Amino acid sequence: MMQTQKWIQRQEKILSRLDDLTYATREQLQITEQLGGSRNAHRILFRMEKEKSISSVRMERKVYYLSNKGKERIGSNQGELKRSWITHTLMRNDLYIKLGMPDTWEVERPVTWGNNKLIPDARFTRNGIHHFVEIDNQQTMRTNEDKIKLYKDLSHVIFKQFHHKPVLIWYTLSKVRREKLKEACTKAGVKHVLH
């Protein structure tokens, strides 16, 4: 009986994490949910998939997401998922883990000021400092440059209100684009970090 209760609690924690992450690899769930070694994590996720709480799709590696049964079980409001989001989402999850899984992490929450609006891929505060995350996956450099201009304007607003400059965190897999993003942020005077 005790073992069953523990299993149910573990499942619900994993389901809730998948609700937050949208898509996740075994490795990401292993770290975020402390599932132990690869064999143990595989065994847990295999059982959950067999029980139809989660589903998966095979890409370079297996990627997990909430099934309709899993969504119902935890009362998720997650809408329809698109395969085109997978790479972007996995990159955002990798950065979330790399940044130490900030407690205040919020995904795609709009920021508005005046007539302007930005939807960062994620945002969080650490030590009272605002951080905004942008994942450079498929958008054009022109789009990135336009966003940097908006972040420059937002930096002034945050500085006036909170007396600090926010940090813009870019995550890209391309060395060439990393250099271009660094150059654009430096030119605009936006405090930034590149991963």
Compute mean pLDDT per 10 residues along the chain, 195 residues long, and list them: 81 96 97 95 96 94 96 92 93 98 96 95 97 93 96 97 97 95 97 96
User: What local confidence, expressed as pLDDT, does residue 80 receive?
Assistant: 85
113, β-bridge pairs: 116
Helices (runs of H) and strands (runs of E) counted in the chain? 7, 10
User: What local confidence, expressed as pLDDT, does residue 138 receive?
Assistant: 79
Pair 95, 195: CB distance under 8 Å: yes
Query: Distance (Å, rounded) from C-alpha 14 to C-alpha 18?
Result: 6
Query: Distance (Å, rounded) from C-alpha 147 to C-alpha 133?
Result: 11
User: What local confidence, expressed as pLDDT, does residue 137 receive?
Assistant: 86
User: End-to-end CA distance of the chain, in Å?
Assistant: 46
Residue 13, H or E segment: helix 2-21
User: What local confidence, expressed as pLDDT, does residue 141 receive?
Assistant: 93
132 phi, psi to nearest 5 deg: -120, 135
Query: Distance (Å, rounded) from C-alpha 52 to C-alpha 26?
Result: 16
Q: For residue 27, what are its two tokens?
A: 């490795």
User: What local confidence, expressed as pLDDT, does residue 2 receive?
Assistant: 66
Nearest-CA neighbor of 169 among 112, 100, 113? 100
User: What local confidence, expressed as pLDDT, does residue 28 receive?
Assistant: 98
Query: Distance (Å, rounded) from C-alpha 144 to C-alpha 173?
Result: 15
Query: How many CB atoms within 10 Å of residue 90?
Result: 23
Domains of the chain by residue range: 2-81, 106-194
2-81: CATH class: mainly alpha
Give domain 106-194's CATH number out of 3.30.70, 1.10.10, 1.10.3470, 3.30.450. Answer: 3.30.70
